[in-house]
Each structure stands twice: as C-alpha cells, then as structure tokens.
Amino acid sequence: MSIRPFAWLMIGLGILLPIMGWQVASPAGFVGPALILLGTLLLVTRRGR
C-alpha cells in the first residue's frame, strides 16, 4: 500500500472513530481527530508523485 491510500484510510478512520467513540463512550472519540490530522499531514508532505 502506498502512502496516498494509507493517508486516505487514516482520514476515513479518523472520521468514523469519533462517531463510534461517542456512542460507546470510549477514547476513540479523541483518537479520530488525531488520525485526521496525521492523514492530512501525510498527504501534504508526501514526496514523489
């Protein structure tokens, strides 16, 4: 898996985890925004094509 699909997967999980985390009152609601941030940073800073 290359960086671009991995970054999009992290962003997708980051969107889903807060929704699921708030329903079950777990720390997943706080991990989601961090994954969105990391995925965005990967997309912005990736090298190559």
One-letter-per-residue 3-state SS of 7-38: HHHHHHHHHHHHHHHHHHCCCHHHHHHHHHHH
Q: What is the pLDDT of residues 1-49, one digit of tens each?
A: 688 888 989 889 888 877 766 656 666 667 788 888 999 998 898 776 5
Domain ranges of the chain: 3-48
Q: Which helix (H) or strand (E) holds 5?
A: helix 3-24
Residue type, 22: W
Question: pTM for the full model?
Answer: 0.70
Cβ-based neighbour number of residue 5 at 10 Å: 9
pLDDT computed for residue 14 by the predictor: 85
pLDDT reported for residue 16: 83
pLDDT, position 28? 63
pLDDT of residue 49: 58
